[in-house]
Structure 1
């Protein structure tokens, strides 16, 4: 491991092309240690200068760095203790393809001349003390594929000229003080190469433009922690390869879009003003691993189909107005990665959730018991009714039979009406009359 100062005579190596001093214990400060940079201006073939990961390399970045060869392609000053500002004529290094000044104490504004670095493909300015606005000249960097300027104290609006970055794949401007609306130019042609877009934790406002659907190659969209409002555009489903969607900590209202991309692995819509029911269609996102819907105004039941999503490993539905029975299978058995607190009308679920039993279950049981008693009562009533009918039929048959007998014999026989008398009694009664 190298230590001490970089020799100031380094510039005598006129044929030097690569100077790679990464991860050592080299030193520099305001008084000494930067002289080698001035001497390197004699190295007309220099293509690479990297002094990254030298924590003791401090002091102000010398302006002489812009006098390095125009053949310089890679300049890595990251992860050092350097401070000061980016030289205003940094654009002189027209051959630069990679510029990394991240994880340093660099301050001041991004100079307009950075737009002259038209061969630049990678620009890293994150975790710095920069200030001011993003210059519109950034739009001239037509070959830029990666622009990372997060956590850099940048402010003001995002310049619409960023929409000219036809080759950019990954753009991260998060954790700054950016304001205003998201320029629709970001979502228009030729930005179809976008794979990663992170504008989170700024002060951006207004709606999410419906043009977001034009980013057909977008893999990750992170817009958390802004002041965006309005409804989530249905056009977002046109981002056909989208895997991660982070729209939390905003002012979005309306309902959750019914037809979200089927390839999502992470969906975060927490801390918004969304209302309505959780759509059953979410269950059709077969690879969904994380679903965060906490702190909204969602209502209705938890879709039972969520318990059958085998890929779901994190679910947060806390602090909504959900009600009804909590499913008992799948993610709903995972007490570590499940949160449903703050929904006072939920019931049931596994015993470990300590929720009240669902009233609907009691009602069902009561209905079952009542139905059972009703069946018994009906059966008994039917039996008595049947018996009464049988008795009535017997009486009716007997009565009809009696009527038939009377009709066949007329009046009763003589011997049944008069008493029998002997001949002797008859003779005495008539005084022997014959």
Structure 2
């Protein structure tokens, strides 16, 4: 441990005295540049107990190594230390409840991505100078300390992916204390066991907060009506909870918002028109809720929007032309599994950068415009977010309907980038193309379209009318040909037989002609009585010798 003082033994004036309300990010980069000697060196083994003897130690950065075992108790007796970076190791054990009492000047505590367990130390309520705490991806459990936000300098709180709990309203008191942290920029509570009603105090967090993540918990209740107070929020993820009610109209005040994920909840009501004010939005995920009404046409003004997922709701009406004209959409547009009606207009051809289109399981009608071929790289009119789910879950009646006279456009088979095509459980009809993606039976799904015909025989679709007519014609022609051949064969056989018979008769006559004795014609034939009389009863004297 002789080299450890080099980590940080210089005279130190606490950062909270030098940089009140300062840019902590810049300061952190400075620290990374000056105390990096044991970071990412693939060091292993246990942290020795003797580290507690380095009483002048101010900062320790030993992240991204292979340290195992518990952090020595003596380590937390270093009262002068203000920075601890031990993330991305294999440390286990728990933290002493008196941690923030024995290390009162602690500003940065980064223990993320370890195997630490137990409660967050209750003494966190006494952490007056804490700027940053990162306990992400550990096994911490229990209730978050009620005065967790006691430090007025708190800037970064990342305690997601643990087993922290909240069941009663009193378990959410810590959120009230965080409203006093005017420098708070990040609050990550995702993937814990937080339940109960979401406090309205969420909307009272610092107006300067930029990242707020409460996703993958069991939180109930509504979003606070004053959520729009968080005007500098750029990332808001509340997905996969049990939240209900409508989206507050004030959400349109969050004009710095870049990512909004509310999927997998029980939100209902109409999507507010005010969302069209969120000009910085690049990704919106509202799938798997109970939203109703029309899709706001104001969304067509979100010039930075790259991904929009509104699938698995109860949205109705026509798809706004303004949305289909939004050229910034490049990753995904998924409107599947709703109650949308009307046609897909030709404006969809303006989505030239779109990779993923989902519109299955609606009540859409009319012709699929050929202009869609201008925009698709992958065309997946799908019901859910994965192909497996599509095949496992039942289809809703209606879906992506065609008018009775429309067919699958041939251009779909000519799109070179098309790798997966799901048109299942619709009312498509007509002949299936046999080129492009349609050659690969494993890349397409056409089930549930009883009026489709033709295509690759592997698809086991019935023959089209034209094919049936051709096939029937061929069958009739084949039958007639067989009859003609049979008759001709019979006639030929008869002619051949007659010829043989005639030839045989002629041969027989010739046979007779050349078989008689020519001498017979030189003498007259005589009867027996005549011979008897002429020879005197055959007398010996009449015998010719």
Give yes or no for TM over 0.5.
Answer: yes
Aligned to 1:86: 144
> Which of 430, 448, 451 is 1:342 aligned to?
448
Gaps of 5+ in 1: 364-434
Change (3 A) 1:58 1:116: same
Q: Is the 8 A contact 2:91 2:114 kept in 1?
A: yes
Q: Which moved more, 1:2-11 or 1:219-228?
A: 2-11
Aligned to 1:53: 113
User: Matched residues in 2 for 1:129 and 1:166: separation?
Assistant: 28
Change (3 A) 1:248 1:334: farther
Residue 135 (structure 1) shift: 2.2
User: Matched residues in 2 for 1:306 and 1:194: separation?
Assistant: 30
Change (3 A) 1:316 1:220: farther
Aligned to 1:95: 153
Change (3 A) 1:39 1:88: closer
Aligned to 1:227: 290
Residue 41 (structure 1) shift: 3.6
Q: Is the 8 A contact 1:78 1:103 kept in 2?
A: yes
- Give the TM-score normalised by the residue count of structure 1: 0.75
Gaps of 5+ in 2: 1-65, 379-417, 470-545
Q: Is the 8 A contact 1:49 1:75 kept in 2?
A: yes
**Alignment map for 1:52-201 (pairs within 5 Å):** 52-55=112-115, 57-70=116-129, 72-108=130-166, 109-111=171-173, 112-139=176-203, 140-186=205-251, 188-189=252-253, 191-201=254-264
Residue 283 (structure 1) shift: 2.2
Confirm or deny that 1:318 pairs with 2:424.
Answer: yes
Change (3 A) 1:307 1:136: same
Change (3 A) 1:211 1:330: farther
Change (3 A) 1:333 1:306: farther
User: Matched residues in 2 for 1:269 and 1:236: separation?
Assistant: 14
- Give the TM-score normalised by the residue count of structure 2: 0.60
Residue 228 (structure 1) shift: 0.5
Residue 210 (structure 1) shift: 1.5
> Which of 80, 88, 92 is 1:27 aligned to?
92
Change (3 A) 1:333 1:220: farther
- Structure with the larger RCO, 1 or 2 (CA within 8 Å, 6+ apart): 1
Aligned to 1:371: none
Aligned to 2:280: 217
Aligned to 1:370: none
Helix, strand or coil: the match of 1:90? Answer: coil
Q: CA RMSD in A?
A: 2.7
User: Matched residues in 2 for 1:278 and 1:333: separation?
Assistant: 26
Q: Is the 8 A contact 2:125 2:146 kept in 1?
A: no
Confirm or deny that 1:278 pairs with 2:384.
Answer: no
Q: Is the 8 A contact 1:309 1:330 kept in 2?
A: no
Aligned to 1:428: none
